[in-house]
Amino acid sequence: MNKKIIILAVLLSFILLIVSTLLFLSAQQKINRSQNTIDITTIDLYTIDELKEQMLNKPEKSNYSFYLIPISAFFGMFVGLLIYYLLSEEINQKEKNINVKSKTILNLLTKDEKKIIEKILENDGKVRQYELTYIDGLSKIKVHRLILKLEENGIIKKEKLGKVNNLILDKDIYYLLKE
């Protein structure tokens, strides 16, 4: 994701958090003001019955907890976007490292070994050994020797299936090279 979009979203969520908090506080002040409807200077003008009636007709406290929902939502969005922004650089760096490592792996292989690895990648990480002999420039003996070398280096694993060998690319290497 583009960093400018992330920064804009963080700022927007921060502004919405402040606005919703201010709305919450203003609603709370209005409720507190409405509860104090009797003026102390004019209390002498009221009779006891009128004061009782005023106290009984006093408006109930309004439930202003619904303001807490947007506040918590905007706070969560703000924190989440901020964490994503801080970690996005680390994620991008790891992706670059993976690409460099996969290129390094391929550069360490010979031309014929690269052909074998590419054929295995075309078949989703698994191939039968006899299928590799159809690659141009590779004979059965050459394929056998290259497979032994790749198996020795831990790049592929050979499984016996009767008279046929099934070659499986190492899981980690497969995911590195597949991207």
Q: pLDDT of 152-171, one tens digit each?
A: 888 889 998 888 889 998 88
169 touches 121 (CB < 8 A): yes
Q: Using CA atoms, how far apart are residues 84 and 5, in angstroms rounded to an integer? A: 12
Q: What is the pTM of this model?
A: 0.46
pLDDT category, 50, cuts 50, 70, 90?
Answer: confident
Beta strands in 43-136 (DSSP E): 126-128
- Between 176 and 43, whose confidence is greater? 176
- Around 106, how many Cα atoms within 13 Å sit in the side-chain half-sphere? 16
Amino acid 67: pLDDT: 65
Joined together, the tokens standing for residue 35 give: 């509860």
